[in-house]
Each structure stands twice: as structure tokens, then as C-alpha cells.
């Protein structure tokens, strides 16, 4: 009988732990992202330490997230993708403004985010945001060099 009680206690403990609230990986409301970047073609102006902004899809099958996409290429040529919506404001009409120094700033709350390292983290002491920019997945197209898929 004692053994059954122990098993019941363990079972309920495991159930209680598994019901804990999980943090969402999204800092802004979820919106589909399905976009393609071609640095040898349409996006050849995306060079190391530059950015591009997309607020609308270019093709019928594409989607640009909640507030649009900020695509940044690091000095090493790595591509990072973020949602343009400020995570502090959570409003698709309040967008961060990319800067040429590898950062993006929200004009409303004055939060600044570091985009050049691929994390989109808020800059300490530069606005109230504690959340990073929403980051999206960037995968190279295995069949076409210089083409990247951006998804969530």
C-alpha cells in the first residue's frame, strides 16, 4: 500500500511540474514569416554591415511577420532577421528604425536593440524594453547559392 501511495505522489508531482507555464519564444504576437532573400539578385544591395526593411511581401506566397522584417548582414556576412515591431510596445504600427551602426531604435519608447550579433537584445540603459526583438530563422537554400529562407 505504501508503494502505491509513493507512486501516486510521484505521478502528481510530475503532472504539477509539467503544467508549469512556458515562456513563449515570441516577443510580439505571432504572425507567419515566409520570405526569401537573394543576395546575388534582387537583394544584391545587402552587403556586410547593411540592412534591408520589408513591410510587405514581394510575392503571393510570402509573409513578413507582425510588423515587417528587418534583415541585417553582419560584418562577417551572416544574415539575421528580426520583426520590425518594438517588443515593448507590442503594436504592429510602432516599428523600430534600423541604424547604420548595427542597432535599431524605437522612436516611441526610445529602446535601442543590438542587431549586429544576431540576438536583437535591448541595449542597457537605452529605453524600457527588457525583451529582445523577435528573431526569425534564416536558412540557406541548398540548391541556390546566395538565397536564404526566412521563417518562424
pLDDT for residue 3:
59
Phi, psi of 8 (to 5 degrees): -65, -45
Enter the pTM of the model: 0.83
The residue to which cell 535599431 is assigned: 104
* Distance of alpha carbon 59 from alpha carbon 45, whole angstroms: 19
| Mean pLDDT value of segment 18-22 | 50
pLDDT for residue 27:
79
- Over the stretch 93-133, which tens digit does the pLDDT of each residue have? 999 999 989 999 999 999 999 999 999 999 998 999 999 99
| Mean pLDDT value of segment 20-38 | 80
- Over the stretch 32-88, which tens digit does the pLDDT of each residue have? 999 999 999 999 999 999 999 999 999 999 999 999 999 999 999 999 999 999 999
Q: What is the DSSP string of the chain?
A: -HHHHHHHHHHHHHHHHHTSPPPPS-SS----EEEEEETTTTTTT--TTEEEEESS-SSTT-EETTT-EEEEE-TTS-EEEEESB-TTT--TT-BEEE-TTSEEEETTT--EEE-TTSS-EEPTTSSS--SPPPEEEEEE-TTSTTEEEEE-
Q: Are 74 and 116 in contact (CB under 8 A)?
A: yes
* Distance of alpha carbon 46 from alpha carbon 35, whole angstroms: 15
Amino acid at each position: 500500500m505504501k508503494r502505491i501511495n509513493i507512486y501516486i505522489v510521484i505521478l502528481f508531482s510530475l503532472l504539477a511540474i509539467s503544467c508549469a507555464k512556458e515562456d513563449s519564444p515570441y516577443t510580439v504576437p505571432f504572425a507567419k514569416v515566409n520570405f526569401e532573400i537573394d543576395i546575388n539578385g534582387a537583394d544584391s544591395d545587402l552587403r556586410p554591415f547593411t540592412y534591408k526593411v520589408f513591410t510587405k511581401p514581394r510575392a503571393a506566397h510570402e509573409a513578413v511577420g507582425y510588423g515587417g522584417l528587418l534583415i541585417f548582414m553582419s560584418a562577417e556576412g551572416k544574415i539575421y532577421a528580426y520583426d520590425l515591431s518594438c517588443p515593448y510596445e507590442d503594436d504592429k504600427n510602432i516599428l523600430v528604425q534600423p541604424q547604420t551602426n548595427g542597432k535599431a531604435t524605437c522612436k516611441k519608447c526610445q529602446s535601442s536593440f543590438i542587431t549586429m550579433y544576431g540576438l536583437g537584445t535591448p541595449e542597457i540603459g537605452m529605453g524600457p524594453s527588457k525583451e529582445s526583438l523577435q528573431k526569425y530563422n534564416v536558412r540557406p537554400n541548398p540548391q541556390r547559392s546566395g538565397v536564404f529562407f526566412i521563417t518562424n
